[in-house]
A and B are shown apart, each in its own frame.
Chain A
Amino acid sequence: MYVVADIDEEICGATKCRLCTQFCPEGNTILYDEVRGTAYVAVDRCKGCEICVGICDDLAKHHAIKMLGINEIVDGFEISKVGFKTTLVESKPE
């Protein structure tokens, strides 16, 4: 079992700060959905370094990111399966 970042989309959506997307060391791991206005994580790429948690808590002061065990995440986005998406709105079943 390992941990990955999980973003509270309600808190994140209210801020639109995008700082975590700029400080994540991995490319296309914290993605930003322009339509929903929130960041989200590609769980298959996240290495669990927690830099984004520090950025969100200390720099942005939004406290929207928590580390969760991979088995606690339901329907996590996996970029290796579906590829890059500018938004997840269309791909989500209604």
Chain B
Amino acid sequence: MSLETIKPSPGFHNYLPKEYQDLIEDGPFHQKRKVSELGSFKEAIEEHPMCAGCAMTLFIRLVYLGLPSLEHSVIVGTAGCGRLAITQGAVPFIYGNYGDTNCVASGLKRGLDIRFKDTPKDVIVMAGDGGLADIGFHAVMHSWFRKEKFTTIMLDNEVYGNTGGQESGMTQKGMVLKMAPNGKKFEKMDMLGLAKTSGVAYTARISPTNPTKVVNTIRKAVLIAREVGPTYIQAYTSCNIEYAIPTPKVMDDAREVEKDRYGYLEYFSDEAKEYWDKSEADRKKARKAQVK
């Protein structure tokens, strides 16, 4: 069904851009692709104008690989660096106004559930720390309080990278930036703690140092959001421009920060844990039955 959705009428096939034809012939839609297959299939993300060596770009690329069903997903984003790449993906993208991404996603998810009763549709909010922790903070919190069933992914570069380097709520205390010359005076916001307190079903903190782990975490968050409740992923995606990290050192920085203060962390609510353990056991059983 999925491939059929994007397949054009035969008469139009040759008039479509080469990129679209490639997506139909060798794309990720008709079969689940693994991290080890990267480079051997046409990816959902196209060429985009994000900076060279940006860790956020790598993370976004892996998110597209982690989505359990690309053809039934909608991504909601807002102003910020991330949207430069997300708009070039082969997944519908909705550009929320700054601050209302989680309101848009709430309505969208409820609407999709009414319209498509038999097909699970995934809504994913993917925006920066400014879009979610500062300007979109109230919308994020209320979507969690209301237990809206979608995933929120924060691309945490700890700065407003797109507008010249202002401090955000997620910037580390004491950090001196171009537009924060005296250093930030307050602590980094504890969004993971807030998520836990507001009853989010699954939260994870991750750095893009292990592609397989990123892909598995995204998949887990989206599947839990489908059945249980809101999920939240906070990813360290450094800004090599505002933090003056030479591009060859971007992965070294990610590894250092991961070791220092951004190590892998996940939290399940009781309900989410029960659901996940059961679905994993079912998947294992199905796999064993297939082998036999």
Contacts and interface: CB of A to CB of B under 8 A. Distances in A.
B22 A84 contact: yes
Interface residues of A, number: 27
A12 B39 CA distance: 14
Contact of B251 (A32, A55, A80): A55
Given A23-B251, A26-B47, A86 B40 contact: yes
A8 B186 CA distance: 49
Contacts of A45: 47
B247 A31 contact: no
Interface of A is mostly: loop
B46 interface: yes
B247 A32 contact: no
Given A39-B39, A83-B19, A25 B55 contact: yes
B211 A25 contact: no
Interface of B is mostly: helix
Contact of B36 (A18, A30, A51): A18
Interface of A: 18, 21-28, 30-32, 34, 39, 45, 47-51, 53-55, 80, 83-84, 86
Interface of B: 18-19, 21-22, 26, 35-36, 38-47, 50-55, 57-58, 61, 64, 211, 247-252
25 contacts: A18-B36, A18-B38, A22-B36, A22-B211, A25-B53, A25-B54, A25-B61, A27-B43, A27-B45, A27-B47, A27-B61, A28-B39, A31-B39, A32-B38, A34-B40, A39-B39, A47-B52, A48-B52, A49-B52, A49-B248, A51-B247, A83-B21, A84-B22, A86-B26, A86-B40
